[in-house]
Chain A
Amino acid sequence: QSAPTQPASVSGSPGQSITISCTGTSSDVGSHNLVSWYQQHPGKAPKLMIYEDIKRPSGVSNRFSGSKSGNTASLTISGLQAEDEADYYCCSYAGSNTWVFGGGTKLTVL
């Protein structure tokens, strides 16, 4: 299966909001409520930010939110802060007990 498509990069100024899209197919993103989002700072392990499309783990700032429409999931970060600068990956269940990650998006806080 092919990876869901994410923009290679997005940017925003402190205090602004940005949205990262994750476009898959009806076999992955569109067929299960199992899209998750991960934040990865350079040299660090990924960190879960959103799961089951819209749920936020305890301890994750409420500035992070998830949504989905059809075959496209989205991660929105409001009130951008310098520490949000990182790579972000979506991941979708792809059926048959397999997972597929998006290509990743580099977020730059200007």
Chain B
Amino acid sequence: EVQLVESGGGLVKPGGSLRLSCAASGFTFSNAWMSWVRQAPGKGLEWVGRIKSKTDGGTTEYTAPVKGRFSISRDDSKNTLYLQMNSLKTEDTAVYYCTTDGSSTGPGPFDIWGQGTMVTVSS
């Protein structure tokens, strides 16, 4: 079964850090480009960032509000995607989803999604 399972969410104080994980199964993770998408409570979807496969350079891109604070990485030996979040702000409070985002044939679409993990930034 094709599956993505996020973990690592929780409550953190402003200025704090948190690392999210996304475990993949049922497909060739090493070939997949992967993205993180978030959704603040009662709001719409926001693309956070993406990492390409290592064979395609393993490069990362981020949306402007998280550049310099968030970092995406992957461990293909563990079929796991990570999102390191530093200097967290209250506006980072959201459900964070990991999703597949294409491959060497081209970007997108987001066709496999995890169930999401909630991150709450509050004092």
What is A's interface to B at a CB cutoff of 8 Å? 3, 34, 36, 38, 40, 45-48, 51-52, 57, 87, 89, 91, 93, 96-104
Q: Which of B46, B50, B115 contacts A97 (CB 8 A)?
A: B50
CA distance A3 to B45 in the complex (A): 10
Question: If the complex has contacts A45-B97, A46-B97, are A99 and B108 also in contact, measured as CB distance less than 8 A?
Answer: yes
Q: Verify if B9 is at the interface (C-beta below 8 Å from A).
A: no
Q: Give chain B's interface residues, CB within 8 Å of chain A.
A: 35, 37, 44-47, 50, 59, 61, 63, 97, 101, 107-111, 113-116
Contact B47 A91 (CB under 8 A): yes
- In the complex, the answer to whether B109 meets A46 with C-beta atoms within 8 Å is no
B110 to chain A: which residues have CB within 8 Å?
A: 36, 38, 46, 48, 91
Tell which of B44, B61, B111 touches A98, judged by Cβ atoms closer than 8 Å.
Answer: B61
A57→B114 CA distance, assembly (Å): 18
Closest to B45 in A: A101
Q: Which residue of A lies closest to B35 (CB)?
A: A99
Interface pair B61/A101, CB less than 8 Å apart = no
Chain A residues whose CB sits within 8 angstroms of the CB of B46 once the complex forms: 101
Rounded to whole Å, the gap between the CB of B104 and the closest CB of chain A is 13
B111 in contact with A100 (CB, 8 Å) = no
Q: Are A36 and B109 in contact (CB under 8 A)?
A: yes
Contacting pair B45 A34 (CB below 8 A): no
| Interface pair B45/A104, CB less than 8 Å apart | yes
By Cβ-Cβ distance, the 3 closest A-B pairs, closest first, are: A51-B109, A104-B44, A36-B109
Nearest chain A CB to B96 CB, angstrom units = 11
Known: A91-B45, A96-B61, A101-B46. 17 other contacts (CB 8 A): A34-B107, A38-B45, A40-B45, A46-B37, A47-B113, A48-B109, A48-B110, A51-B108, A57-B111, A87-B44, A89-B44, A91-B110, A97-B50, A97-B59, A97-B107, A99-B50, A103-B44
Which chain B residues border A45 with CB–CB below 8 Å?
Answer: 97, 113-116
Question: For A40, A51, A98, which residue has the most chain B Cβ atoms within 10 angstroms?
Answer: A98
Chain B min CB distance to A27 (Å)? 15
